[in-house]
Structure 1
Amino acid sequence: MHKVFAHTCLALAGASVLLADGTGPFVGKALVPKYDIWMYPHGSGGARETASTFTALPSPATETHVEDRFGQFVIRFDTTSIAAAGLGVDNYQPERIVLTAALVTGGIVYDPTPDAYQTSAPKGTPDLDPGRPLEVHGTGFRGGATVSNYNESSSYGNGSIHGRNAYAMGYTPAGVARDVSHNVTEGFDSIPWGVGRIYLRSGDGAPDVELNPGAAVPAPDGETPPPVVKFELNLALPGVAAYVRESLNRGYIWLTISSLHSTTQNAASGYPAFYTKEHPEHAMFGDVAATLDVEYSLPIRVLSFSRNATTNTASISWNASKGYKYVLQRSEELTAGSWVPVNTYQPTDSGTLTWSGPSASPKAFYRVIRTK
């Protein structure tokens, strides 16, 4: 009896193409959203050239009758050019996911840290650092809307509490999905999947420079590229990595940006606004719509195994990627300390690795360990 196990520690983030045999990591970028929708009951949805995020707090919801996260920015990226869809949820290992969105407006104060919900509540506790964070979550659907049928022409829903059909969806600490649109009034922290970090771009090829926390975002000057907000998903949070795996297997991912920047009706500043792909500047220059960077790996897969009882030899093949070390190990007992190395490989190209050698015992177990 001979058995083979494929073991590894993998991470998933982005990829440009899915190699047939390599395990990754693969890196890719979605340069423009499939859909980018301003989720605001009085807005023009997917046709709008900008999307702003804001709250009516600290005016209580009992007076305004609106959700705490009143303006939201819902985005869908197709990922099939990054990773082939349909490989099975467990066959995607996300490592790093970064959503980048460009700001149309300046003036907001940069806060790269989460705020407790009480700091936005009417008569709540003081916020000890200046500004409000920009947050990203997943996207939930209701009212007949689904992850597959929602688009830029779909109905907003209605203006009641929890009435919008697509909304910022987070998870409880136990990993249970919930709508975070009204989290302050309902008394819980939103647990953002990522807090936006604001960077200034020079436009001359120099690296982006992060804005100092507490500083105001500069107003557009018409000369330099607009500041960008980078949201890196925290894949260690309950439910987030599973959400990404399901999205990659489906071939697209929905994400929602929201914030608790206070504003008043018809105000023209004091809250963040983002470019959408419909903005004329994107049509002219192609670099202001939201983008998505993804890095991911695939599990090690045993491609073939055989044993010749006459010659007492065995042969094993598995997929591999350059830049990693693969250790083939053998055990006859499956007990702690019984695994012994058979051979070590450090491929210079992605593809298939094969070991052939003696296997005298009729009962043995093999496994492959991948390390940096």
Structure 2
Amino acid sequence: MKIPFMRIDRQFSSIRGEVMPRVMKVLESGRVLQSEDVVALERRLAELHGKQYGVAVNSGTDALVLAIAGLGLKEGARIAVTSMSFVASASAIVLNRCRPVFLDVDPNTMLMRTDRVLELVRARAVDALVAVHLYGQLLDLDEIAYEARECGIPIIEDAAQALGSTRGGRPPGGHGAVTCLSFDPTKVIGACGSGGALVTDREDIARRVRLLRYHGHVGNRVYELPGYNCQMDSIQAAIIDVKIDHLSDWQARRTAIAKRYDEGLAGFAGIRRVRTAPGNVHNHHKYVLHVEDRAALIRYLDQAGVQTSIHYTLPLHHQPCFASVAKAVRLPAVEGAVETILSLPIYAELTEDEVDFIVGALSDHLRRRRAPK
């Protein structure tokens, strides 16, 4: 049996009848940019997160870059960020001519260490925070947000991996001045190409980001400030809107698969799942394990036909693109974790037979290497 890490083709097949009429409607309208489809999606995303404003852009990376720009931070501002994330969480900081301050993680949850964040905030050693909600669960920001408000330090919530997740019953965005979303095809709600958005209660941020996403245009070919061209096109907005209708059902299916993996791995030594923090409802964007002999398990699963992945192979402070701003940084937890973490396939379109096959392959390998406790 061959089980790819992602099956976007299957997802499309399951919703073809909903997607294609929306795509055709956009094409027949001739409004492939700056259409009502985009505006409607922005309203829906804002409502989904309990915010007043939504701004759709071309990618999650664009959302982060423009969110930081929207805060009006001075050049060289120090922005705290986890070293365990996709590169965009930190490259957006550098692209705004600010300096990332890389932080270590809790090795159990892989989320940024909140105690270290609090130390920096209380010492006013950072000017802003990019709070990454990783793998599908939210970082606890309650105490951090209170302290940050007292010190005038804004929070940008990077919720690229957290659509549908909650903490204490609340979605992402409860603490950030602005919250960024991604609709990369690998995400739980993915565009058929690329897409991103940000949501906020601050009119000044929403206005500035809308200007920046299309050359600072204010109408009648007048441009208020230099900007970019990072609009979301109308077809992507229509497709994302269709997929959001399935957000809850798809999440429920991924949750069931995660439970099945948990049950299959119970009792084996040398392997453990990244823990879900108390109070979190995980969207299971990723199912990530710590494995003592990762290379052997990858080889075994690959030979069995099961594709895996690693999120991520290098901590951000070791990435070459940040070499000039991360000299002599030592973060032991994240540096150790990148040697053990492994992601299993987890998407709603996995069949029961495929899930059973993956669990069986994992169990067979683990039994060969060590007996259950």
**By the TM > 0.5 criterion, same fold?**
no
Q: Provide TM-score, normalisation by structure 1.
A: 0.22
Q: Which has the higher helix share?
A: 2
Which structure would you say has the larger Rg? 1
Q: Provide TM-score, normalisation by structure 2.
A: 0.22
Q: Which has the higher strand share?
A: 1
